[in-house]
Structure 1
Amino acid sequence: MNLTDIIALALRNLSQAKLRTALTVIGVVVGVAAIVTLVSFGLGLQQNILGQALSKLDVFTSITVRGASADMLLELNEGRSGSEIEKSDSTPAPQPADDPNSQPTDRFPRPRRVLDDEAVLEIGRISGVKYALPVVNFSCYLRYDGRVRRMNIGGAPAGLSDYPRFRTFLAGRAFAGENSDEAVVTEEFLAAFSPKGPQDRRNGRPRGNGPFAPAPTKSEAERAADAAQVIGKGLILLIPRSAQTSTESVFGIPMISLSPTEKTDDSVPENEQSFDQHIFKIAGVIPSEGGINFNPFGSPRVILPMEKAKRFRDFNRDPTERLGETLAGDSGYMLADVRVVDPTQIKPVMDQVEKLGFRAFSITTQMDEINRIFLIINASLGLIGGIALLVASFGISNTMIMSIRERTREIGIMKAIGGSDGEIMKIFFVEASLIGLAGGTLGVLAGWVVDRLANSLANTYIVKNAASHIEFFSIPWYLSAGAILFAIMISLIAAIYPAMRAAKVDPIRALRYE
């Protein structure tokens, strides 16, 4: 018999037991649909985190350069006491690798240079670097709409068209130049100054649907309309006339007052007369940055021209930053943000930064580990779905065994007229393959329907206020093809025993079988 004859015979045999075949196929459908649904959820999670969230933040072309104060804080966070840090050398003497008396070096070796403006400019001249900017953040009091808050302030360059935070504006534009008295604010700024009421705030967080309510409760058009209302309005920064000092100390190290980063009441700073007032006009409003934030100071709510932010930073240093500077004996920047022209330049640029005497970090260096984690997650989800398909394989074996009992006489006749054991086995393997193919194909379709339904319900009822539609499930072509092939493979494995049993049927006894 040729392959066409075998397939035709297998189809005829399956059609003669329609109910049993249908129930067996349904078992495969359930197993394949479970695999597709669970694995597609894992792939969707991976796509949302790596393909969308991180890509929007441009982390694949971003390098963070650490100054000495940042490394000091890392050492302190690892459990080293203040006295240990003070006694340690800024650059440990190198020791031969084969020296038996050598001691392990610091986990976070200190930069050999100060991360100042000159160093940032030098980093920016490295081949493959698009731009390099110091991370300038501080907190200060500001007055807006008759209320005073203490907020995070950041600095950004003027005229840099591809600066990530300035790519999307709800209203307005970026500031005109480094010397302009203009500022860009975020949606969190609007929410912080929303009208206060018993139903609008809880634990200092605005809520409700009133003016300037948090962005998730409003549509895109409403957010843009609210943002347009503040364009051109003025906000006042209250900058102390001299650098803040304090007699408080940690590990014997002078510290400034550890006041909260943001106050949620309408109180004004003590001795307001000792503050200079700097008026800035709101030029633009940008959307919330989202849940992923790599800035150790938190997301700035107000962004000023870089040069003005640098000037004001000297009078409003973050307590953590001051601690790092005191420990390191270094008044340079804690961090610098470096952008490369494309992800392939990450490694070469990081090597050059290290040669300049700084430590560098990029999320791309951790991508292998991140992908390994997602591989484990997807494999675990697929294994759970595979259990259902394994159960279905017992149904396939049962169907084949029952088929042998019903077709014993037919098998005997086939052998009597010259049918070989191999041809008998091929018939059963083709029947199993057809069951796997039908169940796998229908299972992929069922999984797709379940994914679409679940995704629609999730976007409607769970994240209905998100700024854009979220795809929780992802079914790439290789998942569909792999699921169908896996179903066929499991079906063939399940048919091995029935096929071998059919091949061993004695034709003489089979012809006598009733």
Structure 2
Amino acid sequence: MRIKDLITVCLQNLSRHKARTMLTVLGVIIGCCSVVIMISIGIGMKQAQESALAQMGDLTIITVYPTGKNANSSGINTQAIGKMKQIKGVEAVSPKLTAQNVTVTLYAGKNNRYRTTYAEIAGIDIKEAETMGYKLSEGSFEQWKPGKIFAGQDFAYNFEDTKRPEGRNTIDMYGGEFDANGMPVKPAPYFEPMKTEITAEFSDGGEDDKKVTKKFETAGVMKEDYGKGMETSMGLIMSLGDLQDLLDQQARLSGKKVKRKKGYSSAMVKVKDIKDVAGVEKQIKALGFRTSSMESIRKPMEREARQKQMMFAGIGAVSLFVAALGITNTMIMSISERTKEIGVMKSLGCFVKDIRKIFLLEAGCIGFAGGVAGVILSYGVSAIMNLAAGQASSSAFSDMGGDMMGPAGGLSVIPWWLAVFAVLFSVFIGVGAGYYPASKAVEIPALEAIKHD
């Protein structure tokens, strides 16, 4: 028989008992929808966990720390940085130098009117900054050259006005008005970092109060990222060379010996793929360094999400298994009612394989129809769940006075591949459930089938 003929016969047989066919398809719809929704909840949970981790920091960044009491004994030097870059899976490495145990005062404005002593200062490899995941709200990394810095997102709010009395000489960045959406609007700071020269003053801390002073222009304003460090928020970032020169000059003023080969405070390693983080971190530890990354948090959360996904999928699979029993039952009943018809088909010379194809095609059509309808229903149920979850989250945030917090992520997430898989799996279940009845049909002798009432 031609494929067209098989399909025609199949549709005629299914339409012969519409009520029974619809009830069987309904069972597949419920089973398919259950599986999709359960798996989608697991996917939604996983994405929510990854989103929460991403807010805490870049998941592909490994921070390397000294093993000794100071950077000099740690070995985080140029040679060690080179070894880290050679590790397979590493995309970029940047040393990080901080102005620790150094008295630093920053000035801005005309005649150094604005002042702060609380800014975090860090030196990194600016050429690797963009690759490492640093982002700018103003300016660009291409504008950088020696003598230029990058200010933190809220760097200007650190400063006090030396011409105003104590208590009224700072600007509270949370003390502004609220917009139409209830979001706080930050008041304007004393100055704009992109248009203002910053003067850094490093003191030797001695009685004679010797100082090293250097002026900087701002090449850009960072986007806040606590995973990278406080300097992206309330501090500033400069090149390793600029910060090292200032620290060397400060050391000379203090009468200390300058050690150009002294190790860095820490280092940041950017891994190409999140799957390689654990392996790269292990190799860095083998070099004798301490490491820190989101991997120690991500792995248990990922394992928990996977277990819940399997549990949810198992619950949904029970419904689909029941639907498969329904298909089997329908096909067996169909065979009982069409035994004589099978005998006539055999007597007319119809191939056994064609008879089997007819029954398998009927079962597959039931699975396909149920799968498609089940996926469509799943999208509707998913949308309702996400809407209800979003309203519940918004209500909870309002009760907590959390107007600043955004809406929660989707409780149920159905990617395209899950929809396609659900339809194909439903067809597979249908064909599998119909295989036994189809085999039973072709085993009936032609003469016995013709005599059947």
Alignment TM class, shorter chain as reference: 0.5 to 0.7
Q: CA deviation at 1:50?
A: 5.8
2: CA distance, partners of 1:370 / 1:402? 48
Identity among equivalent positions (%) equals 25
Match of 1:437 in 2: 368
Listed as ranges, the matches of 1:68-87 within 5 Å are 68-69=67-68
Task: Render the CA deviation track for 1:433-460: whole Å, top value 9, x for unaligned.
Answer: 0001111122223223333444455556
- Out of 151, 154, 160, the position equivalent to 1:184 is 151
Cα separation, partners in 2 of 1:388 and 1:188, compared to 1, 3 Å: farther
Query: 1:389 aligns to what?
Result: 320
- Over 3 Å counting, the alpha-carbon distance change for 1:417 and 1:119 in structure 2 is closer
Shift of 1:167: 1.4
TM-score by length of 1: 0.55
Whether the 8 Å CA contact 1:455–1:471 is kept in 2: the answer is yes
Q: Does 1:403 align with 2:334?
A: yes
Q: 2:176 aligns with which of 211, 221, 227?
A: 211
Task: Summarize the Cα distance change of 1:212–1:350 in structure 2 as closer, same or farther, 3 Å threshold.
Answer: farther
1:153 equivalent in alignment to 2:120: yes
- C-alpha distance in 1 between matches for 2:177 and 2:151: 16
For the structure 1 residues 152 and 381, does the alpha-carbon distance in structure 2 shift closer, same or farther, using more than 3 Å as the test? farther
Counterpart position of 2:5: 5
- Contact 2:331–2:434 (CA under 8 A) maintained in structure 1: yes
Query: Which residue is 1:494 aligned to?
Result: 433
Cα 1:165–1:406 change in 2 (3 A) is: closer
The normalised TM-score by structure 2 is 0.61
Structure 1 counterpart of 2:74: 114
Distance 1:499 1:56 in 2: 57
- Structure 1 residue 289 corresponds to structure 2 residue 222: no
**Are the equivalent residues in 2 in contact too, given 1:65–1:337 (CA < 8 A)?**
yes
Distance 1:163 1:411 in 2: 69
What is the distance in 2 between the residues matched to 1:399 and 1:425? 15
Distance 1:500 1:116, change over 3 A: closer
Q: Which amino acid aligns with 2:176?
A: P
SS at match of 2:130: coil
1:64 aligns with 2:63: yes
Deviation at 1:406, TM superposition (A): 3.3
Contact 1:120/1:134 (8 A) holds in 2: no
CA contact (8 A) 1:65 1:359 kept: yes
Residues 365, 506 of structure 1: CA spacing in aligned structure 2 closer, same or farther, 3 A cutoff?
A: same
The one-letter code matched in structure 2 to 1:302 is G
Q: CA deviation at 1:411?
A: 3.3
Return the alpha-carbon distance in structure 2 between the equivalents of residues 470 and 242 of structure 1: 51
Q: 1:454-493 maps to which residues of 2 (within 5 A)?
A: 454-455=385-386, 458=389, 462=393, 474-493=413-432
Letter matched to residue 122 of structure 2: G
Q: 1:309 to 1:23 in 2, by over 3 A?
A: farther
Distance change (3 Å), C-alpha of 1:465 and 1:407: farther
Instruction: State the distance in 1 between where 2:297 and 2:83 align.
Output: 22
Determine the structure 2 residue equivalent to 1:451: 382
Partner of 1:25: 25
> 1:383-439, CA deviations, whole angstroms, 9 ceiling, x for partnerless residues?
332222112112212222332343344334334444565444332211100001111
Distance (whole Å) between structure 1 residues aligned to residue 360 and residue 201 of structure 2:
81
Q: Give 3-state SS (helix, strand or coil) of 1:441's partner.
A: helix
- Are residues 236 and 453 of structure 1, via their aligned partners in 2, closer, same or farther at CA, if it must alter by over 3 Å? farther
Question: Is the 8 Å Cα contact of residues 172 and 228 (structure 1) preserved in structure 2?
Answer: no
Give the secondary structure class of the aligned counterpart of 2:35: helix
C-alpha deviation, 1:23, in angstroms:
1.9
Aligned to 2:136: 168
Q: Deviations over 1:27-66 (max 9, x none)?
A: 2122222322333444455556669965995543x44323
> Which runs of no fewer than 5 residues in structure 1 stay unpaired?
73-110, 144-148, 194-205, 244-273, 316-330
Q: Which residue in 2 is equivalent to 1:78?
A: none
Is the Cα contact below 8 Å between 2:64 and 2:266 reproduced in 1? Answer: yes
- Check 1:429–1:126 CA distance in 2 against 1; reply closer, same or farther (3 A cut): closer
Structure 2 alignment gaps of length 5 or more: 107-115, 161-171, 251-261, 395-402
Q: 1:410 to 1:365 in 2, by over 3 A?
A: same
The counterpart of 1:134, out of the listed 88, 96, 101, is 96
Displacement, 1:335? Answer: 2.7
Q: Give secondary structure in 1 for the equivalent of 2:120.
A: strand
Q: Tell me, in whole angstroms, the C-alpha distance in 1 between the residues paired with 2:156 and 2:31.
A: 50
1:496 shift after superposition: 3.1
CA distance in 2 between partners of 1:24 and 1:131 (Å): 60
Q: State the number of aligned residues.
A: 406
Q: Which has the higher mean CA deviation after the structures are superposed, 431-440 or 32-41?
A: 32-41
Match of 2:235 in 1: 302
Q: Is contact 1:41-1:473 (8 Å) kept?
A: yes
1:183–1:281 CA contact under 8 A, matched in 2: no
Would the aligned equivalents of 1:138 and 1:152 in 2 still touch at CA under 8 Å?
A: no
Partner secondary structure for residue 74 of structure 2? coil
- Give the Cα–Cα distance (whole angstroms) in 2 for the partners of residues 454 and 188 of structure 1: 42
Q: 1:167 to 1:469 in 2, by over 3 A?
A: farther
Shift of 1:338: 3.4
SS in 2 for 1:68: coil
Deviations 1:12-34 (Å, cap 9, x if unpaired)?
01111112212211221222223
One-letter amino acid matched to 2:5: D
